[in-house]
Amino acid sequence: MSLEGQIRDQKSLRAVVGKTADWKELAKDCVAFANSVGGKLIIGIEDGADQPPEGQTIPAGLTDAIRKRIAELTVGVTALPEVLVSDTGAEFIELTIPRSTGVASTSDGRYFIRVGDESRPVTGDDVMRLASERSAVPWETQTTLRIGRSSVDVQKLDRLLADLRASDRVKPSVKEKTSDELLDHYLLADGDFLSNLGILCIGAQSARAKLGSAPVVQFIKYDETGQKVNKIVWDDHTLSPMELVSAVWHEVPDFRERYELPDGLFRQHVPAFDEVVVRELLVNALVHRPYTQRGDIFLNLHPDRLEITNPGQLPLGVTPQNVLHTTVRRNEHLARLFHDLKLMEREGSGFDRVYEVLLSQGRPAPIISEGADSVTVVVRRRILKPEVIDFIAKADETFQLTQRERIALGLLAQSDALTARELCATLELKSLDALQPWIKRIVDWGLVKTSGKTQATKYFVDPMLLQTLNFAGTTTTLKRIEPHRLAALIEEDVRRYPRSQISDIHARVGAEIPRTQIKRSIAELVRSGRLLSEGIRRGTRYSTP
């Protein structure tokens, strides 16, 4: 079973049975799901568990009682409980809450919305936002323009269907559908007509222009004095959102600029703006903008930064402070299409990827700000610490870091030191316990040093380690390392430390790897000419050609 999240929550059976029943809490969660995209409440499975308690049975009449109480305690919520049986034979209730056609609330006038794995209250002006953003039928599925499903751009349709059938994210059973069935499956059409989503993605140019809110992208370049020196506009509605992503990246020449950084005897080329970062931010702007609101997407390029401004505010529940950990899909079906086309990660990991790439390149994290009717993301061009690039690359090669660890290590490598409290604030974490998955292993490996205790604990990267890349720590995952990976690690180590003896290589690459395995790998590298040896027996030293 899946974990709790945006469309799923788990509760103990005690939440609806006997004196411990908390019907108001259950009603709150039902309202939150109804005001989002719907979801399921699994009643009878404890938090953190994946199966109901052994031998658990559901009392007779409980599903009717749940349906009745939810109807009494909420407005605009449909509750559909069903008793299911787990693989172990224990019973539990799956309570399905469809998306409401209007704004749902509790019977005492409170509003909630689902954000990540929490049901958060909606108050004040946000109630009006909730009402205005929600229509009985989502914008994507509306067919108000009455454009026939035969009035498509044939080239766009053929390309889209070919890309979907070639994607490994699309189930084989979906790929087997006919062209018309695929249009229905992705809600690109409804009956005889194209939906707004269909017009946006595969419609003719004239139909896309009639939408009124089809995306327009403007690239504007400014010089040091703030004067416009170049402007490129995609405003003729000939391109679908998917095509816009590729067009913007390839048609802006400034995105091809690169830095040359010294790397020993060689030069390392680093892009002024990484393709992954630009594409992720543009995809995010196209997928999460409110299509009920007009407004252009602006890419403003200044000498020291790139600003991407999107019309509309962040979805309810998402703020600049929690964007790393919060997922709210404003356009559910467009997001699914982008995901299946491998243009984005559906579960909100786009900003995580942006953070990871920027920090691993020695650049600051992106700055996100929200205006009255727009959201702006600022990406800096300058590389603060060029040495961070090699540091993160070597650390990842040696220890196989997770994305969270790369982000945390990049933040610490760019700063003198951060306290636990400061690191939690930067990573938008709620508690010190939540920090451990980000920091524990890189501390254990010696990549990050600590001083102090609890919230005053300081985390920092040793400046000498940052300069020398001489990692003292090793990872237990190296005990079963593949031969080709071990050979690459040894070759890189010897390149950095020529005329090394086998004992030194062994200590640096991984002391827990059997010495015989190290010896076999070095012998093979010498035989293939990738390493050179001089001396005999214990005095043998190794270098690269």
pLDDT tens for each residue of 407-450: 999 999 888 888 988 888 888 887 888 888 899 889 888 888 88
* 283 vs 48 pLDDT, higher one: 283
Q: What single letter denotes the amino acid at residue 250?
A: H
> Residue 499's closest CA among 539, 446, 467, 459?
539
Widest CA span in the chain: 87
Assigned token pair, 517:
């395995």
Within 147-227, strands assigned E span: 189-190, 193-194, 217-222
CB 331 within 8 A of CB 292: no
Backbone angles phi, psi at 120, to 5 degrees: -105, 145
pLDDT reading at 88 higher than 80: yes
332 Cβ neighbours under 8 A, 6+ residues apart: 37, 138, 140
Q: Which two tokens stand for residue 111?
A: 């509003």
173 SS3 class: helix
Question: CA 262 to CA 33: how far, in whole Å?
Answer: 53
Exposed, middle or buried by CB within 10 Å (0-12, 13-18, 19+), for 109?
exposed
CA torsion 44→47→51→54, rounded to 10°? Answer: -60
Residue 321 has pLDDT above 90, yes or no: no
pLDDT score for 471? 63
Predicted confidence (pLDDT) at residue 366 exceeds the cutoff of 50: yes
CB 140 within 8 A of CB 189: no
What pLDDT score does 148 carry?
93
Angle at which helices 483-496 and 387-399 pack, to 10 degrees?
Answer: 150
Geometric angle at alpha carbon 40, from 37 and 42, rounded to 5°: 160
* pTM over the 0.75 mark: no
Instruction: Write the DSSP symbol of residue 164.
Output: H
Q: How high does pLDDT run on average in the chain?
A: 86
pLDDT tens digit sequence for 95-136: 999 988 888 999 999 999 988 778 889 888 888 878 777 665
Which of 136-140, 162-166, 456-460, 493-497 is predicted most confidently?
Answer: 162-166
According to the model, what pLDDT value does residue 293 have?
Answer: 84
Residue 389 has pLDDT above 80, yes or no: yes
Q: Which residues contact 453 (CB under 8 A, 6 or more apart)?
A: none
Residue of 121, 125, 124, 101 whose CA lies nearest to 113:
121
Residue type, 157: L
Query: Can you read off the two tokens belonging to residue 280?
Result: 């992720």
For the segment 495-512, the average pLDDT, to the nearest whole number, is: 82
Residue among 284, 292, 294, 326 at smallest CA distance from 131: 292
The mean pLDDT value for 197-218 works out to 94
Grade residue 473 by pLDDT with cuts at 50, 70 and 90: very low
Domains of the chain: 8-125 (3.30.950.30), 140-210 (no CATH), 218-380 (3.30.565.60), 387-468 (1.10.10.10), 476-543 (1.10.10.10)
Tell me the three state secondary structure of residue 65.
Answer: helix
What is the rounded (10 degree) CA torsion for 10, 16, 21, 23? 80
